[in-house]
Structures are given as C-alpha cells and as structure tokens.
Amino acid sequence: MRRSLCLVAAVIILLKAHYTPVKGTDPEYAQGAVERNELPHREVSPFIWLIGVPEPGDPREWQQNLNAAVDPKHGAFRVTAASEEEKRKVESGEITLQK
C-alpha cells in the first residue's frame, strides 16, 4: 500500500528590516539578531535586510521580535513591507535569501 504525504508549503512574506545602530556600537550586532530569529534573509545595503517571515507577516510583530533580540543600548529595528521591486528580485532569484 502506498502512502501519500501532503506537504503544505509555508507562505513566506517578504519584509524589510532597517537597523539603526547606536553610535560607537558594533554594526554586526544586528546581523546576529536576524540570525537568532532564524529568518531567511539578505542584507541589501548597510543596516537593511530583506527577511522572509511566515504568514501573516505583520511588520509590527517582526519589529518587536527583532528588537527583543537586541539590547536597546546597541540599536533598534524598524520593519516595513518590502517593495514590489524587491519582491520581484527575490522571486526571480536576482536576490537570494540565506538562512
């Protein structure tokens, strides 16, 4: 007898995480916060990451999650929706998210 397994692919929402470091702190600290949240990501410019999050992908929720992973004396995240152009680049493979 053959069993079939139905895999449900999680829908990934693309968001943009902007990090503002406190002057004199290590900017690499932000990368660690993204990685601690185990998100597919790509830094697209200094202190700006595209991040893939599960649906519903609420930017406020992910801003809280990222800020919970950093000490406010080092900096803070602001999370917004990714642009249509950024979404297109990720979908086309022009920008590849890493884990």
Q: What is the pTM of this model?
A: 0.85
The Cα-based distances of 30 to 45, 55, 97 in angstroms read: 13, 23, 16
Phi, psi angle pair for 60, to nearest 5°? -65, -40
CATH fold of the domain at 12-92: Alpha-Beta Plaits (3.30.70)
CB half-sphere exposure, 12, CA atoms < 13 A: 15
Question: What's the pLDDT tens digit per position in 36-84?
Answer: 999 999 999 999 999 999 999 999 999 999 999 999 999 999 999 999 9
